[in-house]
Chains A and B, each alone.
Chain A
Amino acid sequence: MQTRRKTLKHSAIVAGLLATTGLFPHYAFAYNKPAFEAKSVAEVLKALGAGAPVESKDVTIGGPDIAENGAVVPLTASTALPGVKHILLLVEKNPSALVALFNVTDSVEANFATRTKMGQSSDVYAVAIMNDGKALFAKKEVKVTLGGCGG
């Protein structure tokens, strides 16, 4: 790990690079609004142009059985299969199901962890969309307790 001061100095340089050279034109991706506004898991996949999802043992969803607080629920999605285009994390009962979409390249493992908000107990999904458009998924239930005094 490096010190904070270094981070700051470097970040200024990197930010400058990004601004001046337009380093990532190829990756100037459009935020997929319809997918993030879709209500159900099926609608999300439709918005992304993927096929009907098939449950697969090769995809893994990780998360707690019970989340003490729905504001922060740690989730992981991964697969060791080759030819993955996107990895998605979804919460079925959220107002919009899609939480995050990761665009996979050959340089990273198809294995991501982040934290999500959950309004209530729900099934959570990890979906791997393959290069051929096939969608493979794994799901698990996460119970959300409010905890505390409610005061």
Chain B
Amino acid sequence: MKKQHAFALSALASLLVAGCATGPSTADLDQMAATVVKSSFSDKGIVKVSAIAPEDINVACTAADVAGKPLDPAVAEALQAAQLKSIKWPADGNYMGDWKAGEKLAQSGRGLTWSDKADTANGGNCYNCHQLDPKEISFGTIGPSLTGYGKTRGVIADPTSTASKAIIEYTWGKIWNAKAYNACSVMPRAVHKGIITEKQAKDLMALLLDPKSPVNN
């Protein structure tokens, strides 16, 4: 225990000596934080420390959050463009699955924690942050309400219009990789990061856009 802490703190101490009255610089502090992360986290169950290895988009968004300033627009656009390339569009042009399976997936927040097993079915986590079926009273508010999603956007009235097609594509892309449209979105990159499958993404599409889905009724 003591040894482990001596590690991070000696790094800190030497920085402090060098930093004199003004204190450590932002870069010094970033370095300290990285050192602390290294000494503090360990593998457990199915979660490995490699899961928090720095990735360009996350590093950029974390730095922006720490500074309390939004990402530079040009940087954000470049990051989004790179994420957009990860999205696979359905080869047969069919975006719709089974809304009932989608509802079940949306309800579940399970999977990928160190207390889950490797074969735990991952949830879509949707209700954690969004309102969907208006009859479900237990919904989160981190994301916008998606109740009436297909109806209010006119997709149900005319699914083949140009406007509807654009909405369908955006919805697919957003579920696949939310960061393609907003680099520092708090929404996970559900298919891109392997949380859900392509087939499950279709089920969520149906939950949002199927005329029979409770979301639109």
Binds A, one of B34-42, B108-116, B167-175, B176-184: B108-116
A120 to B26, CA, bound (A): 52
Is A150 in contact with B123, judged by CB distance below 8 angstroms? yes
Q: Which B residues between 132 and 174 are near A, CB-CB below 8 angstroms?
A: 137-138
Is A150 in contact with B108, judged by CB distance below 8 angstroms? yes
Q: How many residues of B contact A (CB 8 A)?
A: 11
User: Using an 8 Å CB-CB cutoff, how does the interface string of B165-206 with A read, 1 for contact, 0 for none?
Assistant: 000000000000000000000000000000000000000000
Residue in B113, B137, B138 whose CB lies within 8 Å of A151: B113
Is B138 in contact with A145, judged by CB distance below 8 angstroms? yes
**Chain A binding surface SS class:** loop
Does B216 have its Cβ within 8 Å of any Cβ on chain A?
Answer: no
User: Using an 8 Å CB-CB cutoff, how does the interface string of A138-151 with B read, 1 for contact, 0 for none?
Assistant: 00000001111111
Q: How far is the CB of B209 from chain A (nearest CB, A)?
A: 24
Which B-chain residue is minimally distant from A68 (CB atoms)? B138
Q: Which A residues between 22 and 58 are near B, CB-CB below 8 angstroms?
A: none
A17 to B8, CA, bound (A): 58
A50 to B111, CA, bound (A): 50
Is B137 in contact with A145, judged by CB distance below 8 angstroms? yes
Which A-chain residue is minimally distant from B137 (CB atoms)? A145
Q: How far is the CB of B51 from chain A (nearest CB, A)?
A: 16
Is A146 in contact with B138, judged by CB distance below 8 angstroms? yes
Chain B residues, Cβ within 8 Å of A149: 109, 125, 128
A35 to B211, CA, bound (A): 50
Chain A residues, Cβ within 8 Å of B137: 145
A84 to B128, CA, bound (A): 47
Chain B residues, Cβ within 8 Å of A147: 138
Chain A residues, Cβ within 8 Å of B108: 150
A147 to B140, CA, bound (A): 10
Chain B residues, Cβ within 8 Å of A148: 109
A146 to B137, CA, bound (A): 11
Chain B residues, Cβ within 8 Å of A146: 138
Chain B residues, Cβ within 8 Å of A150: 107-110, 123
Q: How far is the CB of B122 from chain A (nearest CB, A)?
A: 10
Q: How far is the CB of B53 from chain A (nearest CB, A)?
A: 23
A150 to B110, CA, bound (A): 6
Q: How far is the CB of A59 from chain B (nearest CB, A)?
A: 29
What are some 19 contacts across the A-B interface (CB < 8 A)? Answer: A145-B137, A145-B138, A146-B138, A147-B138, A148-B109, A149-B109, A149-B125, A149-B128, A150-B107, A150-B108, A150-B109, A150-B110, A150-B123, A151-B109, A151-B110, A151-B111, A151-B113, A151-B123, A151-B125
